Amino acid sequence: MICILAMIVFGILGIFSATHRKIALEAFDCVFRRVTLRKCETGLDKRLKSQITGKLMRKNPTVARFTFRHFEGISWFFTVIFIVSIIYTGIGGYNYYLYGNCNGPNEDGFCIFDPLGSNSKVSTAQTEASCSVEPQTKESLSLENVNLESFPKIDQGAENDVVFIGCYACPYTRDSYPTIKKLAERQDVNFIFAHLPVKEDTRFISNILNCINEVDSKKFVEFNDELFSTDVSVLRNEDYLLKVVEKIGLDKEAIRQCSDTERIQNLTRLQISEIQKTGIYGTPTVFINGDVVVGPKPYRVYKRLLK
């Protein structure tokens, strides 16, 4: 049994070093002989057993004695654990590839391939105005009965529908923006941007965005490009925002007046309540053809969900 363990462990180490490769080969020979009901000839099993027991004897003869007597059982235990962990690593790697996290879609547990968890971080989507009683869960995320009509969109009659819910001032939305933009620029994607002003003091940006969208439904992309690439500290400054409006070729005074109207403020309020119907608990949240991805993920994770 120790030979199986040695074969796998040294097989992996053998990728990097020739000495380990030799032991792995010996172990393989031993395993092969055992499988074909012959004796292991290399003596590797005894060598490993005595090395391990000898080392333990230096520290604690009782532990050494226990190990020696139950060596086969202990080797079995470690082999099984090892194989199981290899399987889990495989699954983890597979999940990481598909969902950007080892633990599966929208999970946020520790993932060795993303040790800092940067693919799973979200900003909480509890707006200060909202008074959602129950904390939302992954399972409840859905676009069902959510009216997306009023949000800025690029509708090119494509086969894929991508809805990006994010907030200008939230760090993880900002992290994910370049990737999402790449997605939005695809020919085969209809894109909707739903701004969720998590902080009350950024709600006015939604108003401005809605006004821009009313004047020219294509301009929101340029507006977003500016806001997501600038320093987050200037976002709450209305003058700055109006400068951006000017920069993208719109009349800043008209937009400012528009954003102050009751109508637009009601629209923003309505939009927020529509977004909350999705069950959102963190930004960024991206719906792609009915599937949902929470947190800033690598491009491949989004792309895989496209038709």
Partner 1 sequence: MNINQIKKDFPIYNQKINGMIPIYMDSACVTLKPNQVIKAINKYYKEFPACAGRSGHTYGRKVTEEINHARKIMQDFIRAKRKEEIVFTRNTTEGINLIANSLNLKSGDTVLTSDKEHNSNLIPFQLLQEKGIIHKIFNFGDIEDFKSKLTEDVKLVSTVFTSNLDGTSQPIEEMIRLAHKDKSLILVDGAQAVPHKEINVKKLDADFLVFSGHKMLGPSGTGVLYGKLHLLEELKPFLVGGDTVKNSTYTGYEPEDIPERFEAGLQNYAGIIGLAEAAEYLKKIGMKNIEKHEYKLNQYISGKLIDMGITLLGDTDPSKRGGIISFNIKGVHHHEVAGILNESSNIMIRSGMHCVHSWFNKHGLDGSARISLYLYNTKEECDILIEEIRKIKKFTE
Tokens of 32: 């092969």
57 lies in the site for partner 1, by CB under 8 A: yes
Kindly state the DSSP code that residue 197 receives in the 8-state scheme.
Answer: -
CB closer to partner 1, 71 vs 96: 71
Q: Give the CA distances from residue 184 to residues 97, 141, 188, 216, 250, in Å, rounded to whole numbers and listed in that order.
A: 21, 21, 9, 18, 23
Separation of alpha carbons 147 and 139, rounded Å = 20
- Contact criterion met (CB below 8 Å) for 113 and 92: yes
Which range touches partner 1 (CB under 8 A), out of 4-12, 50-58, 162-170, 190-198?
50-58
Work out which of 17, 19, 51, 257 binds partner 1, going by CB under 8 A: 51
46 lies in the site for partner 1, by CB under 8 A: yes
Per the DSSP assignment, residues forming a β-bridge with 190 are 161
Q: Give the CA distances from residue 293 to residues 45, 265, 269, in Å, rounded to whole numbers and listed in that order.
A: 49, 29, 25
CB contact set of 73 (below 8 Å; sequence gap of 6+): none
CB closer to partner 1, 75 vs 206: 75
DSSP codes of every residue in 35-77: HTT----S-HHHHHHHHHHHHHHHH-HHHHHHHHHTHHHHHHH
CB closer to partner 1, 38 vs 65: 65
CB of 80 to partner 1, least distance (A): 24
Which range touches partner 1 (CB under 8 A), out of 60-68, 221-229, 230-238, 290-298?
60-68
CB closer to partner 1, 54 vs 290: 54
47 lies in the site for partner 1, by CB under 8 A: yes
CB closer to partner 1, 43 vs 178: 43
- Contact criterion met (CB below 8 Å) for 281 and 135: yes
53 lies in the site for partner 1, by CB under 8 A: yes
CB closer to partner 1, 50 vs 160: 50
34 lies in the site for partner 1, by CB under 8 A: no
Total residues in contact with partner 1, by rule CB under 8 A: 16
* Chain residues 63-82 in contact with partner 1, contact rule CB under 8 A: 64-65, 68-69
CB of 41 to partner 1, least distance (A): 12
- Contact criterion met (CB below 8 Å) for 148 and 269: no
According to DSSP H, which parts of 137-202 are helical?
171-184
CB of 39 to partner 1, least distance (A): 10
- Cα 157 vs. chain centroid, distance in angstroms? 28
CB of 6 to partner 1, least distance (A): 15
CB of 55 to partner 1, least distance (A): 5
Work out which of 22, 38, 55, 303 binds partner 1, going by CB under 8 A: 55
H or E stretch at 153? strand 153-154
Q: Give the CA distances from residue 31 to residues 38, 52, 127, 242, in Å, rounded to whole numbers and listed in that order.
A: 9, 19, 61, 73
Tokens of 138: 């992954």
CB of 40 to partner 1, least distance (A): 12
x/- map, 214-243, partner 1, by CB under 8 A: ------------------------------
What residues line the site for partner 1 (CB under 8 A)?
Answer: 43, 46-47, 49-51, 53-55, 57-58, 61, 64-65, 68-69
